[in-house]
Structure 1
Amino acid sequence: MEQVTDRRPIIWAFSLTRLRELLESVIPQYEAAAEIRVFQKGFEEALAAARQLIETGAEVDVFLSAGSNGAYLRERAGVPVVLITPTGFDMLQALSKARRMSDRVAIVTFGAVTAELEQFKDLYGLEIEQRAYTARLDAEACVRELAGKGIEVVVGPGMVTDLAVQAGLKGVFLYSQNSVREALGRAIEIARIARSEEAKRERINTILRHLGEGVVAVDMNERIQSINPAMARLLGVNGEGALGMRLSGIAPSLTLSQVLESGKEELEEIQKSRGRTLVVNRIPLREQGVQTGAVLTCQDATAIERVDRTLRSLHRPRHFVARYHLGDIVGESPSLRRIKALAERYARTEATVLITGPSGTGKELLAQGIHNAGSRRQHAFVAINCAAFPETLLESELFGYDEGAFTGSRRGGKPGLFEAAHTGTLFLDELGDVPLPLQTRLLRVLQEREVLRLGSNDPTPIDVRVIAATNRDLKESVAEGTFRDDLYYRLNILHLHVPPLEARREDIPAIAAHLLRGALLRHGAPGRHAQVLKLLLPLLERYPWPGNVREMENVLERVAVLFSDLETAEPMHARQLKLVVPELFEGSETVRKGSFKAERQEAEEAQILRVLQDCGGNQTEAARRLGIGRTTLWRRLSAHGRRVPLAKR
């Protein structure tokens, strides 16, 4: 099928006077650019002829005419009309010719008097009478008046010069080939733009017709202007028959009246209509900043769920995505602001980043944010917890293996996580727990930028950014001989330390509000947020949070479960909280009476002793669980007046 924009623009020109001859002399120059047809008709006769041709299937893009004839068509035709207007050079030429014929010269133009004429008067020292007309009767009156005043030459459009000759005067035609060319150029450009817009509309309509998503557009009175087949099916209406109807009359639950009134979009709302659950978007339509209507889009929720299941099944084995951004990190304490600012700067580089900090402080969240703020954000973010695998399994997970590398290996082999992260980011969590033999292999991969699968002799080049995290003091681990110093220096290029929540307590309210909102939403009680937060916040701000944000998340999850079972109007009491989160109430009297520093010290001591007891007094294991070195453990116990023999491991 011929594309709308492929054919030449079609232009119809209308003139009753000498302008027709001028048009016919210029048209051959434009045969390749446009199809131009000239009609020797004007006013009512021109309009009737054009309408008759259009009704019989003739195509036209633009009308071309001049003066009052053009103005008449512009008001009534319903087709773009380009007016041929005289240029300053046309006027200069016509007046020069008139001056050679007589000093008694007048100019009659359509619409309004010409301001530029004063310049010509001064230039030529002429006394030039100037008149303007809007219709043929006006032009006749002007010519009679000028003849009575002794004017001998009249400059003007074809109709005016014909009237002048009839009155016994001389007429000088105002238009030239240049003014016709200029008008034809404008007409062709307007036609091309109209064709382009028509083609765009057709493409959009084609897309809308084939969209599975329902789309309907309305005007400011909520009357349907456009509706695609998917929306017609959702609403149970005939698409053509729905045009001009009010949307709220067809589907009251899907009304756009609020958006038309407010001008604000409403996105991803869940609504029921005709027994279906729909995901609905309401969007205002604007043209040049002025609202002209609104668009409603609807998707069947079951179709979305089906696609989601398909994507998950396709991507789960091999697709790795970072879900969080730096903007998702909640808190505005000075230390956290510094960390986020550094992370933004680090994200712009390709260097390895080492993130340290106690367990539960959000080190992986920070790593994902760095990935998503960097140039690799469109590629994989692969995370592995190095403490979650035994040594042999961790090795095969990281580096992969070839077929037959060991008993039970997959046929065809398996790429490791370094290969899975190619062109993306590999996040090594709990790196301090990697056994020494694996540290050697890891160092080689970081240095050589190539990985050797188990059972293979052929290294595979990789392009991976590494972000590592640990809750251990790696300097102490290096001193104790449990971590390679060369690997430490290879990793510690860019360093971020996330302080414990206790050290940035001003972040507690914001973090608590964020986590509580999510927990209550998951358990179907979002309306409880303000009440629960008001009851909890004093307790949350006093508690030392040895488990940091992860512990707070668990505490608030328990609270959300409790309050999701209460009736909306049922009051909440501290005694109910105490049953679910007793740790928040431990030592609260001490906090109120004593210093906050003393409470932290007591909580720290209690935690250390509890972990030591769980480990049977084994300091090495206790230090590992606490995320500190044995020397630090001994120092903290000494500060609390506790004596534990260092030899006991």
Structure 2
Amino acid sequence: MKKQISVVVLDPLAGASYAEEVESLFGEYAEIVVYSVRDGSAIGKLPRADLFAISTDAYGSTEEVDRHVPVDSEVMSIEVTFLWKTLEQLWKIPEGTSVLLVNVTETMAREAITQLNALGVNHLRFIPFYPGAILDEKVDIALTPGESRYVPDEVKMVIDCDHRPCSYGMMIEMALRLNLENLLETEPFLNYAKIVASNHYSFDLMYAKSRSRESQFHVLMEILNEGLIGVNEKGEILACNKKACEIAKVSEEFVLWKRGEDVFPYIPFYQALKNKEEIPESVTKLYGSNISIAVIPVMRKNECIGAFATLQRFNEQESRQNELRKQLLQKGHYAKYTFDDVIGVAEPIKRVKEILKRMAITESPILIVGETGTGKELLAHAVHQASKRSNGPFIPINVAAMPENLLESELFGYEEGAFTGAKKGGRLGLFEFAHQGTLFLDEVEGMSLAMQVKLLRVLQEGEVMRVGGSRIVRVDVRIVAATNELLEENVKNGSFRKDLYYRLNALTVLVPPLRERGTDILLLLDNFKTVFDATFELSEEVKNFLQHYSWPGNVRELQNAVEYFNYLGKQMVEVEDLPPTMFKMKNMICEKKEKIINSNNDQLDKIIPNQKSTSLFEFVLEQLYEASERDEYIGREKILQMAKKQHLVISQKQVREILIQLADLGFVIIGRGRGGSRITVKGREYWQEQNNKGV
């Protein structure tokens, strides 16, 4: 946040000049406001500022300053001088020449004369002149700091040096009062020192450098995240930052210039000074905390001129490492989506969201199963955001997209020299980056058996070892995995370890494909239209087709379709405007529709030999169809209840057998446990076709 500097003057023109000079040096770090007595802006209680720079002629007394400047404000006087080029011009005037010094007041005119004498301009006879003064002798030369309007007409030569600039000493004081000592070594400050006159220039420059270095050293010590204690060649303490005082429970005033080992007997200053060697880090117990201490001697021309000790708490080291991990992950490794970003009102997706919200608050691994494009990664983001680890990193990686050796170094990191091309100093793995966060493993079924063993160890022991390393690193990572295959089959054929499967399968959720989400298709379509800023409309025929399309690419395919429609440039999208793959699919469906119906009828005739069985078969299919219209799943118990209301005699066994027969025909997908069953697109088409025929 910028500092606030208020410049208070008598004349507004002089104020503008001073403000411009201050702005040139402090503008990047401070905002400058000018108040003038003559224009009335300096009258009344002034707004608070970090520093008030007030000209000597602005107010008449200290009491008047107190009336206008807020209590306890930092106040300093504006000190002005002349430019070197003005003095050089005056030195060229013959000795003894009378020169009018014209200013707005007698006080300011006499002050300028005194300052010129102090700067070495003693060979001229200066005469103060100001509004109201009477000139009773002939004078040919006048010097004025920007007040030419007050110079008598009869004066032949006018040297207008413009407003006197602020002195370099004043600028130094201003920097010190605002704790901006670092500015004293900047190019604008050094250039300013060269153009303004000073009768103690060398002292000002040396002082500025000394203060700058001292201030920089002090700032450096205080910004360190570890305690720092410095001693001179005699072992006397010359520096002790706040962190060291906090760890050692001492005050800086108490320890300065005392012998280091008298105050800190546990720090081997004497040994480091005597042997001129670094004392490596060691651990000591101090006030109930483990503290790591190291001592480094300061050498100059083979002589030890002092030493510095570093102190740090172990728990703070751990916290800082976690912070560094977070900073390293500001490259996009954070969860971007929540459950609010999962769009859908269909019962299947609502149930998935509710289940995952409950799972998110646990620490167990989660396995998300679903077809390509159903939004598994989006749900993984949402799980992380809803978990207790939401402030930690979220790192997604597609494990099937990397070769095994590259995946190993990516997940577990590597030490320097572990392999050809390894970076100097090694590299952290994603497990270490994801410490106290979530690691999302996409397409986990593509992981090799060797990598599966290493992943299992992380899940069981919570520790990793970098490639080429020998040190165990503890990690606290929650695993969310995703797959588009049923891992049970992979376990059976030996491509996926059974023990890892049961580790990952602690909490499993099945993401429904888009074709089973009913009206969500149009809801998602409207959302993508907003994303692409699209204005097209769909014909009823296209809407009907999209709602009954199989969507092999799921939500991702729908997004692509919306983008395709948008670039067509048509206000109304018709069937012939469908993407080529969809249009081809539509034609194939139309051609095969009759064949499918006839084939289904033939199969039904074989499966259902009598009219009574056909009636029950159609009743069950009807219940499934009506449930899909309500975006619901339906279980056997619900079917039995509906049969009872219609006075149909059917047993639970019969319902189960009919559901199996429907599944064999591809009309139904039977859910696990109490999840219920649902009709497929093929089943819906069959039912609609039969109803149209009046069956």
| TM-score, scaled relative to structure 2 | 0.38
Choose between structure 1 and 2 for higher RCO, CA contacts under 8 A separated by at least 6 residues.
1
Larger helix percent:
1
| TM-score, scaled relative to structure 1 | 0.41
